[in-house]
Amino acid sequence: MTTVGKRPATSPRQLTRVGDRLSFVYLERCRVHRDANAITAEDADGVRHIPSATIGTLLLGPGTRITHQAMAVLGESGAVVVWAGENGVRFYAGGRALTRSSALVEAQAVAWANQRTRLDVARAMYRLRFPDEDPAGCTRRQLLGREGDRVKRCYAQESARTGIPWRGRRFTPGDFGSGDAPNQAVTAAAQCMYGIAQTVVAALGCSPGLGFVHSGHELSFVLDVADFYKTDIGIPVAFEVVAEGPEDIGPRTRRALRDRINTTGLLDRCVRDIQTLLVPVGAALPDDGDHVTLLSDRGDEVAAGRNYGEGETDSAHGGVLVQDLRAQDALVRDGVIW
């Protein structure tokens, strides 16, 4: 195995698209190491190799140990690592984005920074979850009320469909075993969905903290995205697992959810949903190549890597002298032009 320093850096074009990756891989009671561009999981039964670029989220359960080199290759691959246990998700750690363009996070920031467009995106998120309703004109309070009613209705419908009694959402943070079987399954499904949402948000280079429904948390946007699929994937899978039996609710829910995510192509769907919500209609996202510019006045972009000091010319502006641009800057400052 070559050393990390002797291996060339992986470019975004060499990485697996987030929509083509495994939704998540769960490991417990093993040692995770690196072998070339794969991670290895070693336990009493032997060593398993997992290509790092195919992993969306790596869930590390109780009894796992992971080396620095394993974390390095996961970071290079844009994977998300989640430390999880019987008491729930404990910590999120993300690798670099699979894109080098800031176009999507800039679009997210623009939409988030304006109260009107922020509400527009929140309404679009509701419409995405419940396409049979039109939230146009709804206030935030009305959106929250509608969403709460739909989720309650989903619990009741799944209870009737599977024959599993539902007595309401009751759980104690940090105490997974305190809930009944349906609540444990719903919690386990939610934990996995948060990790998957974090995978896609990180891969696309979006800001996890700039939420449109949730607010005030470093993962507000992740919570927004995870909720997209609560009523059509997360809750139904949880009730189906409980209907099969009360044993090992957590592990069985994770496996069932993984299979459902893979068969429904959820990662690709999640990518499309985020891009549709954030990218203006008709706008095109740039490719994944390096594209670095400097921002000038009136929204103009000029070439980076150039000296814009006195006497320099700028080929991006037809070779005009920079002092001419500086004169224009003075007019901008004086309010003559903008």
Domain parsing of the chain, residue ranges: 18-94, 102-278
Tens of pLDDT along the chain (338 residues)? 333 334 444 443 334 455 555 556 778 889 999 998 899 999 999 999 998 888 877 878 788 999 999 998 888 887 778 776 543 444 455 666 667 788 899 999 999 999 999 999 999 999 999 999 999 999 999 999 999 999 999 999 999 999 999 999 988 877 777 889 999 999 999 988 888 888 788 878 899 999 999 999 999 999 999 999 999 999 999 999 999 998 999 889 988 998 898 888 888 889 899 999 998 766 666 555 566 777 888 777 887 767 777 655 555 555 555 555 555 555 555 554 44
> Looking at residue 175, what is its pLDDT?
78
- Asked if residues 285 and 279 have their Cβ atoms less than 8 Å apart, the reply is yes
Q: Is 133 a known ligand-binding residue?
A: no
> Looking at residue 12, what is its pLDDT?
38
- Superfamily of domain 102-278 in the CATH hierarchy: CRISPR-associated endonuclease Cas1, C-terminal domain (1.20.120.920)
Q: Could you tell me which residues come within 8 angstroms of residue 308 by beta carbon, excluding any fewer than 6 positions away? A: 294, 302, 314, 322, 325
> Looking at residue 90, what is its pLDDT?
46
Q: Is 214 a known ligand-binding residue?
A: yes
Q: Does 102-278 match 18-94 at the fold level?
A: no
SS (H, E, C) 164-197: CCCCCCCCECCEHHHCCHHHHHHHHHHHHHHHHH
3-state SS assignment for residue 247: coil
CATH topology of domain 18-94: Ribosomal Protein L15; Chain: K; domain 2 (3.100.10)
**Region of 94 on the Ramachandran plot (φ > 0 left; ψ -120 to 50 alpha; else beta):** beta
**Region of 319 on the Ramachandran plot (φ > 0 left; ψ -120 to 50 alpha; else beta):** left
> Looking at residue 325, what is its pLDDT?
53
158-192 as b/e, with b when 16 or more CB fall inside 10 Å?
Answer: bbeebebebeeeebeeeebeebbbbbbbbbbbbbb
> Looking at residue 13, what is its pLDDT?
39
- Asked if residues 21 and 35 have their Cβ atoms less than 8 Å apart, the reply is no
φ and ψ at residue 172, rounded to 5 degrees: -110, 115
- Reading the block at residue 261, the tokens are 């995510």
> Looking at residue 15, what is its pLDDT?
40
Q: Angle at Cα 289 formed by Cα 287 and Cα 292, nearest 5°?
A: 110
Q: Is 227 a known ligand-binding residue?
A: yes
d(CA 332, CA 185): 60
